[in-house]
Amino acid sequence: MRNLLLIYLFNRVLTVKPSEEIETFKDLQVIIDHFNQYPLVTAKKLDYDLFKKSFNIIKHNQHLTEQGISKIIELKSSLNKGLSENLKESFTGFVSGDGSFNIKATKVRTGKIQLRFAVNLHIREQEVIKGLAKFFNFKDNSYIYSTDTSVAIQIVNTSDVLNIIIPFFDKYKIKGAKELDFTDFKKAAEIVKHKGHLTEDGLNQILVIKDNMNLKRK
């Protein structure tokens, strides 16, 4: 019973190809040991964390209790109903490494401001980018851009930035130096929200913020 359940969860969560599917409990332990030593660093880590929690429940025979099996069902359901609070926090860690907050602005045309949140990855991780679009409930591919070697999701719609991206990262904090970029990004967004970018003074404030973000930060 525990073998069948874990194997199902592993193959479902990590969406492996039929030719690569895991078949025994022993194989699963090898996989767990491997990823404990070499952690996943893309959004797939979020799905893997679900599997690992289920694995540990069954490994210790807790699935034989009503509480244990209920927990497994809850973990499995979260694949379709969104991420738990802990996994959402893990997602911000992923974005801290591969995401960016940028402002495109020009003084030539007052009011021409673009707030942009982006995640850029190698083209082989295209499914991860599609997963991010789904994560934020962007249902079409207009946010996804690709070249021969890279793929990215770019959120530039002001409404999406103000109502989806900023509230999410306000609740689930960005880690490391990128937290400073998000703070500055949010200051610029606040100016845009109140139409301040349509004035010369407001635009100048945004340009100052922009010129002290990311690689230009002192």
pTM over 0.85: no
**Residue in 167, 210, 148, 161 with CA at minimum distance from that of residue 189:** 161
The SS3 assignment for 114 reads strand
Can you give the pLDDT of all 218 residues of the chain as single tens digits? 344 444 444 444 444 444 444 556 677 787 788 777 777 655 566 667 777 887 788 788 877 777 777 777 667 656 545 555 655 666 677 777 788 999 998 666 656 899 999 988 888 777 777 777 877 888 767 889 999 899 999 999 999 999 999 999 998 888 788 899 999 999 999 999 999 998 889 999 999 999 989 877 77
Amino acid identity for residue 108 in this structure? V
Q: Are 112 and 105 in contact (CB under 8 A)?
A: yes
Residue 64 CA to residue 46 CA, distance in Å, equals 26
Q: Which residues contact 32 (CB under 8 A, 6 or more apart)?
A: 52, 55
Q: Are 118 and 100 in contact (CB under 8 A)?
A: yes
Domains within the chain, CATH numbers bracketed:
2-82 (3.10.28.10), 90-117+155-216 (3.10.28.10)
The SS3 assignment for 104 reads strand
